[in-house]
Amino acid sequence: MRKTTTTSINNAEQYKQKLLTWSQQFDEVIWLDSNDYDDRFASYDAVMAVDAFTIFQTDYYDAFDQLKEYQSATKDWIFGYLSYDLKNDVEDLSSNNFDGLHFPELFFFQPKKLFFLKGNTLETHYLNFVSDELEQDLKAIDLVDFSRLSISNTTDLDEPISEEHRVKIKLRIHKDEYFAKVNEMLAHIHRGDIYEANFCQEFYAEDTVINPLETYNKLNNISKPPFATFLRVYDKYLLSASPERYIKKEGLKITSQPIKGTAKRSADKVKDDKLKTALSIDIKERSENVMIVDLVRNDLSKTATKGSVVVDELCKVYTFDQVHQMISTVHSQVTQSTHPVDIIKTTFPMGSMTGAPKISAMKIIEALEETKRGLYSGAVGYFSPENDFDFNVVIRSILFNETKKYVSYSVGGAITAKSDPLKEYEECLIKAKAMREVLEN
């Protein structure tokens, strides 16, 4: 039984930092922040779940059916993630590439303590409520020294750092090898094996120690994305500046918002507007997006009521601090009897991170990529007691295994018949820019 309370706060942005800093005492933390982005589908400005009462984690085998049992039995808020490699549960596929991070393939927990922020209102949901516990926690959060946070919260990435502590980024796939692999993928496209595939590459650092909270704050402050995430599972961390929603269920309505199409920003407004306009009319980028929209429509139709799958927005360009992105919005309706986990299982992995046809694309991706994706291009989010859910896409993210001292971030792009390997490589560098700056400075 959860005890729910509502409290007013004075400074929401400051309170977010206090709340997130206070959370670092727990082994299980999920923080989701919209950064006040104008998202008409958002339920909250920020959500934090900490301190597991129950935990469910597994490898890919029978993962979705086990998650279905856990979610049905819990009948409560559960927060967690789905790794990309759960594809092996959905289809007859495998993941044999190098893995330096070793995240569990699926992890969910039922939090003892939940915090929801909307404007200047804080709503708390405490499980097995103990008298005075909430009051003590709120007092401890309020006493967090915000003056100390400003050091970790700095966006001055030009401050010099000693060579001893500098993160040394390596490439898993070097430029010439990247060109060769893209050309191999283009050969598959020209043969008709696939129409499009999302090809990713890893950047990594070994024997490295970072401050996860400080790194997250820096990444979030230079990106301000609508699906920012700080996740801690014991010694493993996800620090994400994701701009993409994978899928949301609210009542009987399902919303998916795939991203395909990226353009850099300019500090000059006239140039920036031209970059945005150029993206909106780019034939290659639009064709990438439309192909994935078709895939998403097909995936949603597996659980949708007849005739309910509709495209609300097609190839609309949204602007973020680092990039312009082309996003489409697809809706469907489901029946009351449709299990929420079945909706995710029939759409996973998300089309924007796979390709079309989906299974063929995933097989080719596995053959050409050098790294197991793991949590990258998976999803983080939650299920509510009412069987609603909301999940992002894990992109623009830094992953860290503290025990193994291994840091990783991956980027990718859609390869189609019109792809130029050099331009695809340059797009990857644009997407990687924020992560690299945060880690190397």
Supply the residues annotated as catalytic: 244, 260
Residue at 96: amino acid letter: N
Dihedral angle at the C-alpha atoms of 68, 358, 412, 84, nearest 10 degrees? 20
Neighbours of 403 (CB within 10 A): 9
| Bond into 421 cis (ω within 30) | no
Q: Any idea which residue has 């299982």 for tokens?
A: 345
- For residues 98, 101, 107, 110, the Cα torsion angle rounded to the nearest 10 degrees is 180
Amino acid identity of residue 76, one-letter, is D
Please report, for residues 97, 158, 205, 276, 420, the alpha-carbon distance to residue 321 in angstroms, rounded to integers and kept in the order given: 33, 18, 26, 13, 26
SS3 258: coil
> CA-CA distances (angstroms) from residue 177 to 52, 180, 184?
44, 5, 11
DSSP state of 165: G
CB 230 within 8 A of CB 213: yes
Helix (H, G, I), strand (E, B) or coil at 304: coil
